[in-house]
């Protein structure tokens, strides 16, 4: 019981950090997918 009381908070905090990292990775994946949906807006670019 002593070990869990004294060290448990470190495991808890690491679990939170791991969860946050996983969420951040998923958000980045969604951001990448949204950017892939963007359409080209260079209509007539390079023409004079």
In this prediction the pTM is 0.66
User: Tokens 């007539």 belong to which residue?
Assistant: 44
Domain ranges of the chain: 1-36
Specify the DSSP class assigned to residue 42.
-
- Measured distance CA(30)–CA(23) in Å, rounded: 11
Residue 7, CB-side half-sphere exposure with 13 Å CA sphere? 4
| pLDDT score for 16 | 98
- Measured distance CA(46)–CA(8) in Å, rounded: 62
pLDDT digits (tens, 9 = 90+) for 1-48: 888 888 999 999 999 999 999 999 999 999 999 999 999 888 876 665
| pLDDT score for 46 | 65
| pLDDT score for 10 | 95
């Amino acid at each position: 019981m002593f070990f869990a009381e004294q060290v448990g908070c470190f495991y808890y905090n690491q679990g939170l950090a791991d969860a946050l990292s996983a969420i951040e990775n998923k958000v980045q994946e969604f951001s990448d997918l949204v950017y892939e949906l963007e359409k080209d807006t260079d209509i007539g670019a390079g023409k004079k």
